[in-house]
């Protein structure tokens, strides 16, 4: 969760450092995400950084979903072991 928060903060900071402000859009809504994806920079290094920040968010979201799924699976496996099969 912390990795996702940090990655999002880094991505939001890049346009701000270049004087670009997304107004009238709720953060992380579809419109806001489209605005972020539409940002282009003259310097190739800035484009690379933008792509890396977006990739970091995607990786963090995938990891969070995977860990959440493992947590749910583990709960289903551990509860019978803790309570005993007669309680289920």
Domain count, the chain: 1
Contact 55, 47 (CB under 8 A): no
Instruction: For residues 47-75, give the mean pLDDT.
Output: 87
Asked if 27 and 12 touch (Cβ cutoff 8 Å), the reply is yes
CA 84, distance to chain mean position in Å, is 38
User: What is the predicted pLDDT for the residue at 87?
Assistant: 46
The SS3 call for residue 38 is coil
Range of the domain at 59: 2-87
For the entire predicted model, the pTM comes to 0.71
Give the residue-averaged pLDDT of 18-44.
Answer: 89
Burial group, residue 12, by CB count within 10 angstroms (0-12, 13-18, 19+)? middle
């Amino acid at each position: 969760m912390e990795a996702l928060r940090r990655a999002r903060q880094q991505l939001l900071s890049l346009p701000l450092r270049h004087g670009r402000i997304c107004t009238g859009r709720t953060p992380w809504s579809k419109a806001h995400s489209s605005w972020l994806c539409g940002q282009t920079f003259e310097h190739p290094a800035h484009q690379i950084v933008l792509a890396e920040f977006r990739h970091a968010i995607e990786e963090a979201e995938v990891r969070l979903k995977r860990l959440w799924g493992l947590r749910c699976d583990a709960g289903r496996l551990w509860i019978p072991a803790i309570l005993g099969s007669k309680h289920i």
